[in-house]
Every structure is written in C-alpha cells, then in structure tokens.
C-alpha cells in the first residue's frame, strides 16, 4: 500500500526539514501507532498516528507570503528588549508563519513568510547557496579595487569570509548605489563588508530571494505567493541543488 515517506510527513507538519526529520527518526524520537520507528524509508499510511518527541503531529496546509519589511522592525516573533517586530505589522492570522532568513532593524525589503519548514531549510541552508539580491547605497565613491575585494572575499570576522558580486547603478564623489548579489547568509554581511572597506551603508533593501521578488509590493504590504511562483521556485531550487551536488 502506498503512503507518505516518514521524513516528508514530519516536514509537512511544519516542524523541521526532511534532513532534520531523518535525524529525529534515527535518534528514536519518532513513534508511529505507539511503536518507535527508526527506519528512514518508513511509509506512513492515512490512518497512522505519528508522534515526534511525544507530541502527536499532523500535516498542515502550506502557506506562502511575500512581505515588504519597512525599516525600524526586527525579524523575529518576540524581542526581549521590547523592540518592534515584523509581527506588529502582520495580520494576526499570519502570526504562525516564520520568516525565511532575516533582515536587520535598519534594512528593508523582501521577506518570504511560510509554515513550510522544508522550504525554509532549502532557502537558508549554507550549502544551498541560494542567491539573494539587494539594492544598497553607501556614503562614498566605490572603486574597482573595492569591488574586486568584495568578489574575492573579505574576512568580516575571524574565520568568516564574505563574498559579494557588485553591479554599480549610480555613482558620484559622495555616494554609490549598487545591486549586490549574495550566495551566503552571514549576519549583517553587507554592512560588515563595507565597514571593512571604510564605507557606511546608507540604505539596504532586499529586492529578490531566489526567484521571488519585491515587485508589486509597497512598504508594509504582505501578499500571498501564487502557486505558479512556488512551482517555479521549487524548480529553481532543484536546479541549483543539482549544480551544487
């Protein structure tokens, strides 16, 4: 009888990625119908009851949204310092969704929101090298030497080297506007790279994450991502996963 692979079933409950689900299965943290299951290829049938770490789980309907984050909000559900978060702006019926990656308080732009744990992992895992595109303005005139350094890599922290591809859009003696492409997700990566080069970031906006863009959104807007766009996104992720294999 056909069924759903156990790791996929767990991932579909929004708990974690399939990879993490495999780890939970191997660790003996998963039970099906009262019996511990450690077989990775186990098939779950429609009437089976699956428990992860003692909690009964159910597959959930996956939801996908695009959100245009304004400046002044942090990308988290709660903040112990009492700062404003993106959930202060989001409708209450979307508070169960998680952001894919983060933007710091002063940055703006695209955040994908979803309850699809597997997709979150595919978009953010360091090995995936998923491209993210930013529009950035700095308080000075960038040089080709600076651009070359960013492409070749800058050590922004001990043992952490950041890379970026830079396309200059506007430049004068006082400022430079660029599009910057990243394949990493290091904390405050762009700001730290420019600080190393002696520049201050005046504005930073994420305009694209993989195939999903900011097009059609105003600051503070949140809109569903269309099924066709999710299909295109999955095809893109499968393609780059094959390239990175």
Nearest to 40 by CA among 62, 60, 12, 20: 20
Residue 170, CA atoms < 13 Å, CB-side half-sphere? 8
Determine the Cα–Cα distance for residues 142 and 193; give it in Å rounded to an integer: 12
DSSP E strand boundaries for 115-175: 132-138, 154-157, 160-162, 165-171
Q: Which residues are catalytic?
A: 104
Determine the Cα–Cα distance for residues 43 and 4; give it in Å rounded to an integer: 5
For 166, residues 6+ apart whose C-beta sits below 8 A from its C-beta are 142, 147, 150, 151, 178, 179, 180
Determine the Cα–Cα distance for residues 21 and 7; give it in Å rounded to an integer: 5
Total Cβ atoms within 10 A of residue 124:
17
Determine the Cα–Cα distance for residues 150 and 243; give it in Å rounded to an integer: 23
Nearest to 142 by CA among 182, 164, 170, 108: 170
């Amino acid at each position: 009888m056909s069924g759903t692979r156990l790791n996929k079933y767990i991932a579909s409950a929004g708990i974690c990625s399939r990879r993490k689900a495999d780890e939970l299965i191997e660790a003996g943290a998963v039970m099906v119908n009262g019996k511990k299951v450690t077989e990775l290829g186990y098939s779950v049938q429609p009437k089976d009851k699956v428990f992860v770490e003692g909690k009964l789980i159910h597959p959930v309907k996956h939801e996908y949204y695009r959100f245009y984050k304004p400046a002044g909000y942090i990308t988290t559900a709660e903040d112990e310092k009492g700062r404003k978060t993106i959930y202060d702006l989001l409708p209450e019926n979307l508070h169960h969704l998680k952001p894919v990656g983060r933007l710091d308080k002063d940055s703006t732009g695209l955040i994908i929101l979803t309850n699809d744990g597997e997709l979150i992992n595919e978009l953010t895992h360091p090995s995936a090298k998923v491209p993210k595109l930013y529009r950035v303005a700095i308080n000075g005139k960038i040089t080709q030497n600076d651009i070359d350094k960013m492409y070749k890599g800058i050590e922004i922290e001990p043992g952490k080297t950041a890379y970026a591809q830079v396309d200059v859009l506007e430049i004068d003696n006082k400022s430079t506007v660029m599009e910057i492409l990243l394949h990493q997700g290091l904390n405050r990566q762009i700001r730290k790279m420019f600080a190393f080069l002696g520049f201050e970031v005046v504005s930073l906006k994420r305009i694209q994450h993989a195939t999903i863009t900011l097009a059609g959104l105003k600051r503070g807007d949140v809109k569903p991502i269309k099924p066709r766009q999710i299909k295109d996104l999955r095809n893109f992720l499968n393609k780059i996963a094959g390239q990175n294999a």
